Each structure stands twice: as C-alpha cells, then as structure tokens.
Amino acid sequence: MTRDPLEALLSGSVWEVAEGLLGWTLESTVGDAITAVTITETEAYAGELDPASHAFRGRTPRNAAMFGSPGTLYVYRSYGIHWCMNVVVGEPGLAHAVLLRGGEPQQGVTVMEERRGRATDLTNGPGKLCQALAVTGDHDGLDLRAGPIRLVRGPGIGGRTVQRTARIGISKATERLWRYVVVG
C-alpha cells in the first residue's frame, strides 16, 4: 500500500516538514472563491523545546490546536492585527508546528488582489498570506486534508535552492536557523 505523500511528510520532524512543504500548494475555498499559492517560505517551531513557540509553556485555549494531529491548522492573531497560520506536524501532543510565511500566487489572483486591496506583495508575509487566502481564526483546528483550507502536492520548487536563515519577528531563540526560503 502506498502511503499518502502529505501524511508521510507531516510525520517527519518539524525541520524536515518546514523545508519539505516548500513547493506544496495551499488551496483556499472560502465563500465562492478558490485561491491557491505555492508555498515558498516557512518557519519551524518546536513546542516545549523552543522558547519562541506558542506551546513553550504548555497548552492553553489559544494554542490548543498545536497539540492536535499532524495536518491540523493552527491559526492565531499576531499583535492583535494579522491572522497567521501554522501546520501542526509530528506526533499528537508534541505541539510542533510550521508557520506558513509566504507563497507564490497560482490561482484566484484577482480575488487575492481584492482581499488585499492591492496588486503587489499579495502573499509575501504570514499576515498577507492569510488575508489573501481569507484564512481567519474560524479556521483554527481544521484538518488541512479536508478543507476549506487544504494542502496538496504542488509543482515543487523547480530546481531553485532553499536558504536557511534565522526566523523573523521573534525575540527569543533568534539564532536558530529555522526559516526556510525558496531563492529566486
């Protein structure tokens, strides 16, 4: 029996998954619109091992989705302004998650432009990505295999390289090279 590629990927370590998600497609079917991006930027967060993780101090009502099954969507508000989304990975209860930081628009670009109120810089940041795909706190805890937000095998990164850098916008564990970016 062949194992589902997404399930196989999500069972890896948070660092393997953060890099492995590059080139996958994130689809959103919200309202009447279908939008999709190819994931080009991620960050790894390692639960209780990571002082920058929302799960570092344990489970709370806000971060409960992080403790779920691999493929669960964890959505939170950043600075009380922007929605950000993470893919839960590894064993349930581990609270490891990959922040989806950016992507290349593939489908529904006009809809993304309307949602963002602009024609440039549509999905190059975690808040922008959520706004373009209409991801909100209502999607927290959803299964990314079932929708309306889904991860599907994408076009890959087309021979481009992946760069590892320090994570962005955090104040703890800033030296860890747990950000993965498709170059070019």
Work out the pLDDT band at 4, boundaries 50, 70, 90. confident
Number of domains present in the structure of the chain: 1
Question: Model confidence over 130-155: pLDDT tens digits?
Answer: 999 999 999 999 999 998 999 999 99
> What band does 79 get if pLDDT is binned at 50, 70 and 90?
confident
pLDDT value for 80: 80
Cα separation of 18 and 39, whole Å? 10
DSSP-based three-state secondary structure for 122: coil
Residue burial 155-177, b: 16+ Cβ < 10 Å; e: rest? eebeeeebeeeebeebeebeebe
- Nearest alpha carbon to residue 162 among 1, 2, 9, 18: 18
pLDDT at 44 over 70: yes
Q: pTM value?
A: 0.96
DSSP class of 96: E
The string of pLDDT tens digits covering residues 84-133 is 999 999 999 999 999 999 999 999 999 999 999 999 999 999 999 999 99
Q: How far apart are CA 81 and CA 90, in angstroms?
A: 29
| pLDDT confidence of residue 1 | 57
Asked if residues 22 and 180 have their Cβ atoms less than 8 Å apart, the reply is: yes
User: Which residue is listed with tokens 């800033």?
Assistant: 174
Instruction: Give the Cα separation of 17 and 26 in Å (integer).
Output: 14
The residue segments making up the domain with residue 86 are 5-182
For residue 125, the domain's CATH number is 3.10.300.10
pLDDT in tens, 18-35: 999 999 999 999 989 999
